C-alpha cells in the first residue's frame, strides 16, 4: 500500500481535535502563534478531566467519515507486483547491477547480494525483461535482456566474487546504455551493493535516461572492522656475493579496537617466519621480517595475517627474482680503429640495475648462434649482416631484440632491400663541422624513455658535447626523431619493427667523431639507450587485480623463454595460467602479448607444453583501496544519477511510477463514495436523535 | 573575543542598525578584530614545499638561504589561495518569521537573525574573494542571486527586501491568514540543478520536517558534490516552551490550530525537540554535513566560528 499525497494524512489530526476540545476542561483565553505544531502533534493528549461522551455511534460515524475523506485525499494505491499491474502499466525493462568486488566477501554480504538478485529477477511478469550485470572495476552483462527465468538463475548460480575494487560509474553507464536501447515503456535500475564511499567519486557523471527509475538494495549493514595487508616492500642488500632481501609488510586496521594478530612470511609456499603484531584502532602497523637470501630463480612470496571477516585482503603476494641482466652484443669491424667500442663496452659494464652482459664480436666472426638470447645488438660502424646471420637477426628484431645502428661513414649502397626497409632513416652525406667547433644536441624529446631521466634540471646537459662529424639522416614518416642537432638534423632516430626497436645514432660512439664519450651524460645516455632498445622493464614484484600485463614491456618476464627457445622465441607461444587454472595463450610480442590479470594469487607464465610449476610466477594482489569499508548514503547516488528532478528517485524500497499505479486503481473514488454515504447516514441519524431529544425536552 | 565585541555581535543590538551592509561590515570586522590571535586565521600564504628550480621559474621564488647551504637552486612553493562559490540558501517560510515574545528572550525574529548571518557570511566570503550567491525559498524558490564575485551588493539588497517583506507580512500572519506548508525537497532539488560548479552551500532554516525528509532533501545538494553547511535556527521559546496558560496554538505554516495545556506538555515537548535536533545532528554527521544548532537570542560569533571551522576543514580536505 502506498500514498500519492501522504501529507494529507496530517488531516487525521483533525479527528482528534474536536474530541480533545470536549475532553479538555480548561477555558481557552488566547491564541498563540507558533512556528510549527509538528512536535506538539507527536505528543499524546492529556486532559484534566474527561467528559462523558454522548452519542458514541454518531461520533464514530463522523470520525470514520473524516478518516475516509483524509484517506481519499491521500490518494492511496496498492504496490502490486504482479501480472495485473504490469499489464496495466506496460512491460518493464529492469537492469540489476550486482556488486561483485572483493569487499562483498565481507561476512555474508555476497550471499545476501545473490539472494536479493534472485528476488529482483523472480519479480518479473508478462513481458517484463531483466538483465543481470555483475560489476567490480568494470561491468559485465551476465545475460542479454531476457524474460527467461532459467537463464537468469543460471547467471546468478555462475556468479563469482572478483578480486577487483568497486566503481559505480562504468556499471551505471552500461545500465543507461541498456535502458536507452530498450523499447519497453517502463525502465528501472536496481543496484545491489555494500555502497562503499570509494566507489563513487565526486566527479563521476552518469545520467539515466529520462523516465528511468532507480532503486538500491543495501547489503552492507553497519560499517565493519577489517584488517588488511596493504603493502609489502622488498629491500635488497648485498652481503659478500649474495643478495639478501628484507620483507616489510604494512597492515591497516579500520576497526575501532586494537587487534593483535599473527603475520607470517611465506617463501616458495613454506612459512619462514611469524611475528606478533598489534595494530592500533583506525591505524597502521608494520611487520619487518628477518633478511633472507634471494633465491636463484623467481620465487613466490606471501605475507599472510590472521584470517578475519574479509579474507581477500589478508594476504599480500609478491615475487622474489634474482637480478636479471640485459644481454648486449657489440659488433665491430674486422679491423677496428684504436679504442673503437671501448667506451661503449666500458660504460655498459658499469651498473647493476640492470646489469649488462656485454659481448664483443668482429664482423667476420659473427655467427647466427651469437644472436641467441640477445636483448640488444649494436652494429658499431658495421653494415648489417647478410645471409643466414642477417635473416636470423631480422627474425630476432621482429621477436623483440633491439638493434642500434651506428653507420659512421659506411656506404649504404650495398645494403639489401630487407635491411633498407627495417632502417629508421636513409643515410645522407657526412657533415663535417670541425671548423665551427662542432654541432650540439639541441632538441631532445624528454618525454621519450631514453631521455626521460634527463628531463629534470641539472640531470644531464647534452649541449656540452660536440659532434664534429655526423651522418645526415633522412627519417621517413613512420620513424620517430628522438633528438636533433642544432642545425635541425636528426641525431637519434627510431622505428618499431614487430616487437623490437631499431635505433640509429648519427655520430660515433667513441671519440672519433665526437667528444660525447668524454662527457658525464655519456654513461646514463648509453644505459638508457640500451635499456630502451633492449626492452628492459623495471621488474615488478607484484601487479594489482585488474592490471593489464603487457609482455612487450616486461622483458624480464619473457627473457627465460627467449633464452631457452632462441632468438625467435618472441613469437613462440607462451601460456599464462591463472590461479584458478584458466589458461591464456600469449606471445612475448606481436598480436597476443596482452592479458588482464583479474584474479588474486599467483599466475604462471611458461612455454606452451611445459609442465606446471616450471614457469615464471607473477604475483597479483587486490586493490588496497577497496579495503576501506566506509560507506555513503545510497540516496546520494540515486539523486546524482536521476535524469530530471522529480523523475521518481525512490531510494531503497518502493518501485517507480506511483502516479500511474494510483491512476490505474482509483481507490480514492471508492473511499469518497463510502465517506459520503457515511455522512448521509450520520445526517439522518443525527436528525432523528435531535428530534427525539427535542421531543424529550418538550 | 573582548566583551565589547561580544556586545557588538548581540542580535538585539544589531537590529538597531538599519543598513545591512553596514551591519555585515560591523559584524565581520568586529569578529575578525576579536580573533586576531586566533589560530584559525592566516593560512593563505602557508609554505608548502621546496622544488628544484626550472628554467622559466620566477627567480624571486628562489630560496637563497638554501642555495647558500646546498649550492642548488630551489624554489619555495606556497599553498595557493582558491576562491570558491559560496551559496546561501535561506528559508523564508512563515515559521522563520517567528519572534519569541516571552520575557528574557531575544527581540529579533529567526528570519532577521538568519539575514544577519547570511549578510555577515556573504560579506566575509566576499572579502575572501569568493563568489557569493543567495537563494531564498519557502515551498518554492522566492528569490535567486547567482554566485558571482560582483554580487555581494545584490545579495545584501535581496536580504533587505526579504526582511522588509517579512515585516509587511507579519500583520497578515497575526490575522491568521492561511498559507501552504513548506517543504525543503522541491526548492533544494531546483537549486541543486542550478549550481553548475561545486560550491560551499550554507542552508539556514528551522528544519520543521522529519529528519528523513530533511536528509532526503539535502541529498540533492550533496549528491552534486557540494560541501554543505546547515545552520539550524530556533528561537529560545521553541526550545524551552515557557508558556503557562492553556491556549490555542496556531501553526504559522499551515494555519492549523491546536488546543494545548503547556504545563502538561512542556517536559515531553522539550524531549521531542531534543530528540529531533539530536537525530538531525547525528544523521548529518554520518552524511558528513556540517550541522550547527543556534539559539537566536545568542550572539552571532558562534555561527561565524562554525562557518570558519567548516571552511577550514573543506580547504584542508583537498
Longest dimension (CA), chain B: 85
Q: Are residue A368 and residue A498 in the same domain, yes or no?
A: yes
- Mean predicted confidence (pLDDT) in A676-690: 84
pLDDT higher than 60, residue A96: yes
* B252:A28 CB<8 A: no
Instruction: Note whether residue A617 is domain-resident.
Output: yes
pLDDT higher than 80, residue B111: yes
The CATH number assigned to the domain holding B100 equals: 3.40.50.410
pLDDT higher than 70, residue B175: no
Give the pLDDT band (50/70/90) at residue A601.
Answer: very high
* A21:B253 CB<8 A: no
User: What is the per-residue burial (b if ≥16 Cβ within 10 Å, else e) of A364-384?
Assistant: eebebebbbbbbbbbbbbbbb
Domain that holds residue A484: 325-533
Q: Are residue B115 and residue B242 in the same domain, yes or no?
A: yes
What is the C-alpha separation between B298 and A549, in angstroms, rounded? Answer: 64
Q: A64 near A125, Cβ under 8 Å?
A: no
What is the C-alpha separation between A378 and A399, in angstroms, rounded? Answer: 16
Q: Are residue B158 and residue B62 in the same domain, yes or no?
A: no
Residue A92: what pLDDT? 87
Pairing of strands B131-137, B141-148: antiparallel
Lowest-confidence segment of A36-45, A553-562, B200-209 by average pLDDT = A553-562
Q: Are residue A239 and residue A291 in the same domain, yes or no?
A: yes
* B246:A27 CB<8 A: yes
Instruction: Note whether residue A216 is domain-resident.
Output: yes
Q: Are residue A372 and residue A504 in the same domain, yes or no?
A: yes
Chain A CB contacts of B206 below 8 Å = 35-36
Chain A CB contacts of B267 below 8 Å = none
Instruction: Note whether residue A62 is domain-resident.
Output: yes
Residue A245: what pLDDT? 85
The residue among A34, A51, A197, A633 with the most chain B CBs within 10 A of its CB, best to mutate, is A34
Percent of chain A with pLDDT over 70: 86
User: What is the per-residue burial (b if ≥16 Cβ within 10 Å, else e) of A105-142?
Assistant: bbbebbebbbebbeebbebbbeebbbbbbbbbbebebb
Q: Are residue B246 and residue B287 in the same domain, yes or no?
A: yes
**Cα–Cα nearest to A5, from A659, A483, A686:** A659
What is the C-alpha separation between B182 and B41, in angstroms, rounded? Answer: 38
Residue A101: what pLDDT? 92
Pairing of strands A186-193, A92-99: parallel
Q: A26 near A20, Cβ under 8 Å?
A: no
Chain A CB contacts of B173 below 8 Å = 33
Among chain B residues, CA nearest to A635: B219
What is the C-alpha separation between A689 and A102, in angstroms, rounded? Answer: 74
Among chain B residues, CA nearest to A42: B272
* B249:A34 CB<8 A: yes
Complex ipTM tops 0.85? no
Give the pLDDT band (50/70/90) at residue B150.
Answer: confident
What is the C-alpha separation between B203 and B191, in angstroms, rounded? Answer: 11
Lowest-confidence segment of A535-539, B118-122, B150-154 by average pLDDT = A535-539
Instruction: Note whether residue A260 is domain-resident.
Output: yes
Q: Are residue A527 and residue A379 in the same domain, yes or no?
A: yes
Q: Are residue A405 and residue A471 in the same domain, yes or no?
A: yes
Q: Are residue B65 and residue B194 in the same domain, yes or no?
A: no
Among the partner residues B53, B243, B287, nearest to A457 by beta-carbon distance: B53
Please report which residue ranges of A438-538 form alpha helices under DSSP H. Answer: 522-533
Calculated CA dihedral for residues A259, A260, A266, A272, nearest 10 degrees: 170
Q: Are residue A145 and residue A105 in the same domain, yes or no?
A: yes
Q: Please state the φ and ψ torsions of residue A639, each to the nearest 5 degrees.
A: -65, -35
Instruction: Note whether residue B257 is domain-resident.
Output: yes
Residue A648: what pLDDT? 45
Among the partner residues B250, B269, B273, nearest to A33 by beta-carbon distance: B250
Among the partner residues A17, A32, A40, nearest to B269 by beta-carbon distance: A40
Among chain B residues, CA nearest to A13: B258
* B223:A43 CB<8 A: no
Q: Are residue A372 and residue A447 in the same domain, yes or no?
A: yes
Calculated CA dihedral for residues A359, A363, A368, A373, nearest 10 degrees: 20
Q: Are residue B238 and residue B287 in the same domain, yes or no?
A: yes
Instruction: Note whether residue A538 is domain-resident.
Output: no
Q: Are residue B100 and residue B160 in the same domain, yes or no?
A: yes
- Mean predicted confidence (pLDDT) in A472-487: 90
Averaging pLDDT over each range in A270-279, B116-125, B161-170, B307-316, which range is the top one? Answer: A270-279
Q: How many residues does chain A have?
A: 698
Among chain A residues, CA nearest to B276: A39
Instruction: Note whether residue A425 is domain-resident.
Output: yes
Q: Are residue A97 and residue A158 in the same domain, yes or no?
A: yes
pLDDT higher than 90, residue A493: yes
Q: Are residue B307 and residue B284 in the same domain, yes or no?
A: yes
Domain that holds residue B52: 47-78
Q: Are residue A562 and residue A646 in the same domain, yes or no?
A: no
Question: Of A621, A641, A676, which residue sits at a domain end?
Answer: A621
Q: A370 near A359, Cβ under 8 Å?
A: yes
Q: How many residues does chain B have?
A: 318
Among the partner residues B95, B216, B287, nearest to A36 by beta-carbon distance: B95
* Nearest-CA distance A247 → chain B (Å): 31
pLDDT higher than 60, residue A698: no
Q: Are residue A507 and residue A606 in the same domain, yes or no?
A: no
Q: Are residue A453 and residue A420 in the same domain, yes or no?
A: yes
The domain total for chain B is 2
Averaging pLDDT over each range in A407-421, A507-521, B8-22, which range is the top one? Answer: A507-521
* A651:B216 CB<8 A: yes
Lowest-confidence segment of A403-417, B11-25, B94-108, B138-152 by average pLDDT = B11-25
Instruction: Note whether residue B42 is domain-resident.
Output: no
Instruction: Note whether residue A122 is domain-resident.
Output: yes
* B219:A633 CB<8 A: yes
pLDDT higher than 70, residue A29: no
Q: Are residue A606 and residue A641 in the same domain, yes or no?
A: no
Among the partner residues B252, B260, B268, nearest to A35 by beta-carbon distance: B252
The residue among A33, A46, A459, A642 with the most chain B CBs within 10 A of its CB, best to mutate, is A33
Q: Are residue B197 and residue B122 in the same domain, yes or no?
A: yes
Question: When comparing pLDDT for A677 and A592, which is higher?
Answer: A677
Q: Are residue B69 and residue B196 in the same domain, yes or no?
A: no
* A35:B55 CB<8 A: no
- Mean predicted confidence (pLDDT) in A324-334: 87
* B189:A646 CB<8 A: yes
Instruction: Note whether residue B41 is domain-resident.
Output: no
What is the C-alpha separation between A612 and A603, in angstroms, rounded? Answer: 11
Number of A:B CB contacts under 8 A? 136
User: How far from each other are the two terminal CA atoms of chain B, in whole angstroms?
Assistant: 30
Q: Are residue B211 and residue B62 in the same domain, yes or no?
A: no
The CATH number assigned to the domain holding A142 equals: 3.40.50.410
The domain total for chain A is 5
Give the pLDDT band (50/70/90) at residue B318.
Answer: very low
Percent of chain B with pLDDT over 70: 74
* A35:B238 CB<8 A: yes
Residue B42: what pLDDT? 33
Instruction: Note whether residue A403 is domain-resident.
Output: yes
Q: Are residue B211 and residue B240 in the same domain, yes or no?
A: yes
Q: Are residue B24 and residue B171 in the same domain, yes or no?
A: yes
Residue A427: what pLDDT? 92
User: What is the per-residue burial (b if ≥16 Cβ within 10 Å, else e) of B227-266?
Assistant: bbbbbbbbbbbbbbbebeebbbbbbbbbbbbbbbbbebbe
Chain A CB contacts of B248 below 8 Å = 28, 30-32
Output the average pLDDT for chain B: 77
Question: Of A318, A348, A378, which residue sits at a domain end?
Answer: A318
Amino acid at each position: 500500500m502506498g500514498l500519492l499525497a501522504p501529507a494529507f494524512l496530517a488531516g487525521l489530526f483533525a479527528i482528534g481535535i474536536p474530541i480533545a476540545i470536549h475532553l479538555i476542561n480548561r477555558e481557552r483565553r488566547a491564541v498563540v502563534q507558533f512556528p510549527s505544531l509538528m512536535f506538539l502533534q507527536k505528543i499524546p493528549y492529556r486532559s484534566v478531566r474527561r467528559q462523558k461522551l454522548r452519542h458514541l455511534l454518531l461520533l464514530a460515524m463522523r470520525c470514520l467519515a473524516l478518516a475516509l475523506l483524509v484517506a481519499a485525499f491521500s490518494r492511496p494505491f496498492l504496490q502490486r507486483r504482479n501480472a495485473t499491474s504490469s499489464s496495466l502499466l506496460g512491460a518493464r525493462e529492469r537492469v540489476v547491477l550486482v556488486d561483485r568486488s572483493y569487499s562483498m566477501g565481507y561476512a555474508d554480504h555476497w550471499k545476501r547480494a545473490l539472494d536479493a538478485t534472485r528476488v529482483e529477477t523472480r519479480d518479473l511478469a508478462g513481458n517484463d525483461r531483466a538483465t543481470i550485470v555483475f560489476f567490480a572495476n568494470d561491468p559485465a552483462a551476465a545475460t542479454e535482456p531476457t524474460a527467461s527465468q532459467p537463464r537468469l538463475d543460471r547467471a546468478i548460480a555462475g556468479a563469482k566474487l572478483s578480486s577487483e575494487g568497486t566503481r559505480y560509474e562504468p556499471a551505471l553507464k552500461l545500465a543507461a546504455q541498456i535502458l536507452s536501447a530498450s523499447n519497453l515503456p517502463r525502465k528501472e535500475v536496481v543496484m545491489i551493493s555494500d555502497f562503499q564511499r570509494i566507489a563513487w567519486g565526486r566527479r563521476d557523471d552518469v545520467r539515466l535516461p529520462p523516465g528511468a527509475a532507480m532503486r538500491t538494495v543495501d547489503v552492507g549493514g553497519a560499517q565493519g572492522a577489517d584488517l588488511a595487508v596493504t603493502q609489502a616492500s622488498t629491500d635488497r642488500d648485498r652481503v659478500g656475493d649474495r643478495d639478501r632481501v628484507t620483507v616489510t609488510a604494512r597492515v591497516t586496521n579500520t576497526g575501532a579496537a586494537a587487534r593483535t594478530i599473527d603475520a607470517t612470511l611465506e617463501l616458495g609456499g613454506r612459512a619462514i617466519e611469524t611475528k606478533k603484531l598489534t595494530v592500533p584502532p583506525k591505524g597502521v602497523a608494520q611487520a619487518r621480517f628477518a633478511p633472507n637470501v634471494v633465491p636463484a630463480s623467481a620465487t613466490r612470496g606471501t605475507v599472510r595475517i590472521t584470517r578475519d571477516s574479509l579474507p581477500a585482503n589478508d594476504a599480500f603476494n609478491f615475487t622474489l627474482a634474482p637480478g636479471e641482466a640485459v644481454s648486449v652484443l657489440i659488433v665491430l669491424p674486422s679491423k677496428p680503429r684504436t679504442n673503437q667500442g671501448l667506451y661503449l663496452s666500458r660504460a655498459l659494464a658499469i651498473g647493476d640495475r640492470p646489469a649488462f652482459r656485454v659481448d664483443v664480436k668482429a664482423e667476420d666472426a659473427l655467427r647466427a648462434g651469437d644472436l641467441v638470447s640477445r636483448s640488444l645488438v649494436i652494429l658499431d660502424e658495421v653494415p648489417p649482416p647478410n645471409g643466414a646471420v642477417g635473416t636470423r637477426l631480422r627474425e630476432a628484431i621482429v621477436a623483440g631484440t633491439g638493434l642500434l645502428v651506428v653507420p659512421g661513414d659506411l656506404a649504404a649502397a650495398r645494403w639489401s632491400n630487407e635491411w633498407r626497409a627495417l632502417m629508421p632513416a636513409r643515410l645522407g652525406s657526412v657533415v663535417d663541422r670541425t671548423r665551427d667547433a662542432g654541432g650540439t644536441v639541441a632538441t631532445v624529446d624528454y618525454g621519450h624513455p631514453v631521455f626521460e631521466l634527463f628531463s629534470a634540471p641539472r640531470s644531464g646537459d647534452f649541449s656540452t658535447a660536440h659532434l664534429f662529424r655526423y651522418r645526415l639522416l633522412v627519417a621517413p614518416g613512420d620513424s620517430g626523431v628522438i633528438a636533433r642537432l642544432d642545425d635541425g638534423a636528426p641525431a637519434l632516430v627510431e622505428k618499431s619493427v614487430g616487437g623490437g626497436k631499431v635505433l640509429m645514432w648519427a655520430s660515433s660512439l667513441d671519440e672519433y667523431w665526437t667528444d660525447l664519450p668524454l662527457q658525464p651524460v655519456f654513461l646514463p645516455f648509453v644505459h638508457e639507450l640500451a635499456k630502451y632498445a633492449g626492452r628492459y622493464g623495471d621488474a615488478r614484484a607484484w601487479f594489482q587485480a585488474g592490471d593489464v600485463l603487457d609482455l612487450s614491456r616486461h622483458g624480464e618476464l619473457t627473457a627465460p623463454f627467449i633464452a631457452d627457445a632462441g632468438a625467435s622465441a618472441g613469437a613462440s607461444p607462451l601460456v599464462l595460467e591463472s590461479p584458478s587454472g584458466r589458461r591464456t595463450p600469449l606471445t612475448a610480442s606481436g598480436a597476443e602479448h596482452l592479458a588482464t590479470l583479474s584474479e588474486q594469487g599467483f599466475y604462471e607464465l611458461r612455454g606452451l607444453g611445459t609442465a606446471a610449476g616450471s614457469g615464471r610466477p607473477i604475483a597479483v594482489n587486490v586493490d588496497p583501496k577497496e579495503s576501506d569499508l566506509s560507506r555513503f548514503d545510497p540516496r546520494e547516488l540515486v539523486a546524482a544519477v536521476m535524469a530530471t528532478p522529480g523523475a521518481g528517485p525512490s531510494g531503497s524500497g518502493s518501485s517507480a511510477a506511483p502516479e500511474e499505479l494510483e491512476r490505474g486503481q482509483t481507490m480514492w473514488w471508492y473511499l469518497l463514495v463510502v465517506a459520503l454515504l457515511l455522512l448521509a447516514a450520520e445526517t439522518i441519524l443525527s436528525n432523528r436523535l435531535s428530534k427525539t431529544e427535542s421531543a424529550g425536552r418538550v | 573575543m573582548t566583551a565589547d565585541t561580544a556586545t557588538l555581535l548581540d542580535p538585539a543590538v544589531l537590529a538597531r542598525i538599519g543598513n545591512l551592509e553596514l551591519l555585515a561590515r560591523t559584524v565581520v570586522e568586529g569578529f575578525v578584530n576579536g580573533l586576531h590571535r586566533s589560530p584559525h586565521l592566516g593560512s593563505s600564504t602557508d609554505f608548502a614545499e621546496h622544488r628544484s628550480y626550472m628554467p622559466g621559474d620566477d627567480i624571486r621564488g628562489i630560496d637563497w638561504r638554501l642555495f647558500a647551504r646546498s649550492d642548488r637552486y630551489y624554489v619555495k612553493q606556497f599553498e595557493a589561495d582558491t576562491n570558491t562559490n559560496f551559496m546561501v540558501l535561506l528559508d523564508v517560510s512563515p515559521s522563520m518569521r517567528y519572534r519569541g515574545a516571552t520575557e528574557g528572550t531575544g527581540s529579533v525574529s529567526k528570519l532577521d537573525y538568519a539575514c544577519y548571518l547570511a549578510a555577515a557570511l556573504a560579506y566575509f566570503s566576499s572579502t575572501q574573494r569568493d563568489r557569493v550567491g543567495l537563494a531564498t525559498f519557502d515551498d518554492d524558490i522566492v528569490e535567486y542571486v547567482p554566485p558571482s564575485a560582483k554580487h555581494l551588493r545584490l545579495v545584501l539588497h535581496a536580504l533587505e527586501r526579504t526582511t522588509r517583506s517579512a515585516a509587511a507580512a507579519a500583520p497578515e500572519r497575526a490575522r491568521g491568514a492561511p498559507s501552504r506548508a513548506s517543504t525543503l525537497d522541491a526548492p533544494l532539488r531546483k537549486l541543486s540543478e542550478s549550481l553548475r560548479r561545486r560550491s560551499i552551500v550554507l542552508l539556514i532554516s528551522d528544519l520543521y520536517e522529519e529528519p528523513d525528509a530533511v536528509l532526503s532533501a539535502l541529498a540533492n545538494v550533496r549528491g552534486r558534490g557540494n560541501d554543505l553547511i546547515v545552520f539550524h535556527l530556533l528561537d529560545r521559546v521553541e526550545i524551552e516552551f515557557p508558556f503557562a496558560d492553556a491556549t490555542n496554538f496556531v501553526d504559522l505554516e499551515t494555519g492549523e490550530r491546536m488546543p494545548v495545556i503547556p504545563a502538561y506538555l512542556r517536559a515531553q515537548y522539550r524531549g521531542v525537540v531534543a530528540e529531533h535536533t539530536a537525530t538531525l545532528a547525528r544523521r548529518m554527521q554520518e552524511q558528513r554535513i556540517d550541522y550547527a544548532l543556534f539559539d537566536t537570542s545568542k550572539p552571532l560569533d558562534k555561527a561565524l566560528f562554525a562557518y570558519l571551522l567548516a571552511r577550514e576543514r573543506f580547504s584542508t580536505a583537498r
